[in-house]
Structure 1
């Protein structure tokens, strides 16, 4: 029989378990919410300043204006070089990311590192391997493993504890092309699994790199796999089914990360997102985050895309509504497995479209009257994370 002290200890442990939820929670966080602020140093170095309209236009750091967040997402490129075809600048390398990560980590934000295993943008349209890396599978896998371990160790040595690492960015069609390219909609399941073989080798190598870093004393992060089109259940079932059948154990990742944009097809509905997240949670019993999303505050003209939720207004109010609705979908996922939400690049003042055909999806109004200096005046939606 339990003693009175034993019963008290058991009751305390049970209460703690109920309060903290699934054991996959990291660093005491039950819901990660925040923004991708990868371009913030670029903006500031170019002379950008940010005004908080809720505080009489006081000049404040962007992260202070974006109230309510607890997480900052930062992308990392391997060896960015100048020039690219579009004249892109050198940035998002380890030195650049370390500077930002130290800034945010020192303020108590959780750092979510988004590996683009490329010298440039990595997304479903392009996943080209770094130019300096090997072009055969085994040496490439070894290089990848060492790179993950080395970069994590470097950030740790700089005083940054990573809470989340995403091994690849929107890797629907694989990563490190051409060797790691996959075709998730291949009709034959056997053929689909076969074409995931190289990706499975590369992903497992990256995952071993995380383990190597942790073994060397680095703070253990949660490991994410990030796929776009989180509303597409067929894609997610095909993709993860093929990856595991190709040899990647489900223990090799901790979190599902999905993108959810309203611009890329009218199937990107909240209803379809709910169906997908609930199905994936039911099958894999792992936490789920929506790690990229946005909503326009300006979107008109002949080239304006059809939005997947037309009842939500195109406005700052609509931005808040969209994010609140996604948070509701996440928080209804069974067993508390909906655990994170990130808005993509809300402070990028000279890329207001954020890759869509809308005029603006950021959370500030840019004023270019003193060009090249730009001032961003916050919209009410800048406080969105405080409302979820």
Structure 2
């Protein structure tokens, strides 16, 4: 009897050892097969107005009609990067260094990357205007370069972004008149090079973007050929149908052509589309007519979603596309429905006129 028990015990021990061995092998095999998460495709939203909107007391709601912080809503939707503009000395403090630093901290705490748009101006900078900050307007060119280097160094130290734009939509340069690309080409390139060198020295892992408004091949090529001596990583392009044409396929062509010519990754840095042509305040909207729409994409919640999905798909299908950013998604009519100085983008936001999240946010899924 004791002999049989001894044999049974040995058999049980062997079985247990074999079972443990197999379990380890399976565990090791499963560990090897776990896919590495690749989230390098940029799905970004510019939410620069958010601090001002929150100060106003406006409440935003998620798709379940529950009050929710916009950063949380975007994170849950799949957004992985937040774009924030920075002005030098804005009149009301909004989009200044202190506010942007605080917003960037919240973004990082939420687990998203920070993409900083440095306007090198006290206010809006775009193809039509690139005003030098008041503080710098009487500086010699040598001193202006020093100011740019010092300011850029401060930005990197204080905010430490993952991506940084040297200027915003700098089709004709920045810091006019001294940095005008057509009238003062050498100086314009020198200012860009100064900012780039500062970033490389302070934050070698930070990606540098040069941002151009438009997707027309000849214009884009003229610009990026001009600035080819500048050290940067990403080409950023703005694409709004109202200004840049209604053929969305041009986006893919522009990305592939520029990417191949200049060996850069390309990002649609700004785009947007309406979910309605109605108004929610007394401020004229940028897009408000049927004639401004793209065929196949009506001004409806689903039409807005379909447009952004088309942009995302075109970027993904292109050889050099790295991502996209939606502009004005936060810019609801937060100053009241009778504000004459309210939002010009209320009908292109991520929220309907009751501040409830729209289906367009589904496009941010991975």
TM-score range, shorter chain: 0.7 to 0.9
Q: Which residue of 1 aligns with 2:325?
A: 342
Q: Does 1:198 align with 2:159?
A: no
5 Å-filtered alignment, 1:59-98, equals 59-66=67-74, 67-81=77-91, 89-98=92-101
Per-residue CA distance 1:84-120 (angstroms, 9 max, x = gap)? xxxxx33111100011001110110000011010000
Q: What pairs up with 1:226-305 in 2 under 5 angstroms?
A: 226-229=211-214, 231-244=215-228, 248-249=229-230, 252-265=231-244, 267-299=245-277, 304=289
1:347, distance to aligned residue in structure 2 (A): 1.6
Q: What is the DSSP-based 3-state SS (H/G/I as helix, E as strand, rest coil) of the residue aligned with 1:50? A: coil
Matches of 1:360 and 1:205 in 2, distance apart? 39
CA contact 2:83–2:117 (8 Å) conserved in 1: yes
SS, match of residue 48 in structure 1: coil
1:111 and 2:122 correspond: no
For residue 308 of structure 1, report the CA deviation from its aligned partner: 5.8
Distance 1:294 1:281 in 2: 23
Judge conservation of contact 1:281–1:333 (CA < 8 Å) in 2: no
Return the alpha-carbon distance in structure 2 between the equivalents of residues 195 and 278 of structure 1: 30
Partner of 1:123: 126
- After superposition, the Cα gap between the structure-2 partners of 1:197 and 1:355, relative to the gap in structure 1 and judged at 3 Å, is farther
The structure with the largest alpha-carbon Rg is: 2
Gaps of 5+ in 2: 1-31, 280-286
Structure 2 vs 1, CA of residues 232 and 268 (structure 1 numbering), >3 Å: closer, same or farther? farther
Kindly indicate whether residue 328 of structure 2 is the aligned counterpart of residue 366 of structure 1. Answer: no
What's the TM-score once normalised by structure 2's chain length?
A: 0.81
1:240 is paired with a residue whose SS is: helix
Q: Which has the higher helix share?
A: 2
1:141 maps to which of 125, 135, 145: 145
Show the counterpart of 2:58. Answer: 48
Unaligned runs of 5+ in 1: 1-14, 21-27, 82-88, 157-161, 184-193, 368-375
- Report the TM-score when normalising by structure 1: 0.76
1:220 paired residue among 189, 200, 205: 205
Q: Cα RMSD over matched residues?
A: 2.6
CA-to-partner distance for each residue in 1:28-51, whole Å, 9 max, x for gaps? 642010200111111011101111
